[in-house]
Structure 1
Amino acid sequence: MARVEKRKDERILTRLADEFEQLAAQLNSPAPFTMEIGNFTQACRLVSPLIRYLGVAMKFADIEYSAKISGIEKAGKSVNTLEDLLDSEIQQNTIKHQSSASRFLIRVKRSLEMLKIIFEQIMASSEISIMDAVNTAYKQVFYPYHGWAIRKAVGGALLTVPTRSLFFIKLKVDEASAFVQMQRTIIALAHLIHYIDNLFHSRESAQELLSLI
């Protein structure tokens, strides 16, 4: 069992790119497409190791992210697709509830946006530290929705972000290999994020959720 887990860990970036590319490829299908919740959450769970590799202080972010994935999976016991998830909560008038799976989906989408920006920033910079990459992503995605206390906690957590070289060591890849998989993931995530945004924009009663925490 230990050897299997080690092999999975060694390929985390490749597995991440593979999973999200498969989802993106489905989105480009000419036939009417619906996103199965199981496929979506399976890919999203691969982000958790990357969050943990950003430092021990990021553990709280992984707990929060994983809880939202679990919430979406729970909703998937009664509906099969993300489209059905939104439509079901709209019909039940629960979509705006704080614990609605639709709001969980938005928070997961923002985490994917943050991951995309982190990868873009890492690839665009030669800085020894990746703290600026993480900070830039946070300020673009989550900062506007957080209060002073959370912003201060994130600021402290940023001080524990590993160096660029240590991050790649944790991922068990060299920089060139990492960049290939990061670029694949960036492209795939752009399609997926656009798709999720459209899910909400195409439903009048769901649009305003995109501006809420």
Structure 2
Amino acid sequence: MAEPITADKTLHQIAVAFKNLANTVSDSQTADVEVAPFSHACSLISPLFGSLGIAFKFAEMDFVSKVNDLAEASKSIPTLHSMIDQDVQANSVRTAGSHTRNLLRVRRGLDMIRVLFEQMMVTEGDSLRDPASKAYEQALAPYHGWAIRKAVSAGLYILPTKEQLLKKLNEDVASAKEQMQIYVSSSEAVIQYIDKLYVSRNLGTDW
């Protein structure tokens, strides 16, 4: 049974939402994630990009627009599985603006936040520069052109500190670490599920 999402701190809402998705994925081999709860969970991630400042402004705008597309799609398409199949049948998988293409972009945003949280938990000190740099390089940089990578690189010098970020999110260190850990493990399961949807249809995920 899914845990309720209460009007609570951002990180707690994120942790609950993705734990619910991860539970759905792990229920069986034939698990099918619904588009509506998936897009809602992703919408909770959007403020995190905004909280990182100018360095990730482009990533925030891109992520928000893609999540909004999936939310709109959820009104007529029940599951991620059927959403991709519709695009496959229409031969529009790689078309700019397709739901399948947008889902892949959202998946990369989720992965960036996953790596960011992982690095925040293991990196000493109050600076976010190293965790954010590693997260960007691993999840997003390979798919960005030179101009965007250069802008992000410059923006890494004016990131908030860990303390400032947690203050924006109304979190203390102990509670934040607990919620981050839940997201890291839960999002990993969800990301693996999404990757399987692409790989099982011979679509790949590196485009």
Could you tell me the TM-score, scaled by structure 2's length? 0.92
- Find the aligned partners of 1:17 and 1:175 in 2 and give their Cα distance: 15
Range that drifts further, 185-194 or 28-37? 28-37
Shift of 1:41: 0.3
Counterpart of 2:167? 169
- Find the aligned partners of 1:45 and 1:73 in 2 and give their Cα distance: 9
Provide the identity percentage.
37
Q: Alpha-carbon deviations, 1:101-125, whole Å to 9, x = none?
A: 1010011000011000000000001
With over 3 angstroms needed to count, the CA separation of the structure-2 counterparts of 1:106 and 1:31, relative to structure 1, is closer
Task: Give 2:156's match in structure 1, choosing from 150, 155, 158.
Answer: 158
Shift of 1:54: 1.1
- Letter of the aligned partner of 1:199 in structure 2? L
Are 1:65 and 2:63 matched, yes or no? yes
Counterpart of 1:36? 34
- Letter of the aligned partner of 1:42 in structure 2? H
Q: Alpha-carbon deviations, 1:74-109, whole Å to 9, x = none?
A: 333332110001100000111111221101001100
Task: Give 1:51's match in structure 2, choosing from 49, 52, 61.
Answer: 49
Contact 2:55–2:151 (CA under 8 A) maintained in structure 1? no
- Letter of the aligned partner of 1:25 in structure 2? N
Could you tell me the TM-score, scaled by structure 1's length? 0.90
- Letter of the aligned partner of 1:96 in structure 2? R
Q: Alpha-carbon deviations, 1:149-176, whole Å to 9, x = none?
A: 1111111222221011111111111111
The secondary structure found in structure 2 opposite 1:159 is helix
- Letter of the aligned partner of 1:211 in structure 2? D
Counterpart of 2:3? none
Range that drifts further, 148-157 or 53-62? 53-62
Q: How does 1:36-185 map to 2 (within 5 A)?
A: 36-185=34-183
Q: How does 1:5-44 map to 2 (within 5 A)?
A: 8=7, 11-30=9-28, 32-44=30-42
* Aligned-pair Cα RMSD in Å: 1.5
- Letter of the aligned partner of 2:87 in structure 1? E
Counterpart of 2:206? 211
Shift of 1:138: 0.5
Counterpart of 1:4? none
- Find the aligned partners of 1:200 and 1:40 in 2 and give their Cα distance: 16
The secondary structure found in structure 1 opposite 2:27 is coil
- Find the aligned partners of 1:56 and 1:201 in 2 and give their Cα distance: 34
The secondary structure found in structure 1 opposite 2:32 is coil
Shift of 1:56: 4.3
Shift of 1:31: 6.9
Range that drifts further, 99-108 or 155-164? 155-164
Contact 2:40–2:71 (CA under 8 A) maintained in structure 1? no
- Find the aligned partners of 1:57 and 1:96 in 2 and give their Cα distance: 27
With over 3 angstroms needed to count, the CA separation of the structure-2 counterparts of 1:31 and 1:120, relative to structure 1, is closer
The secondary structure found in structure 2 opposite 1:99 is coil
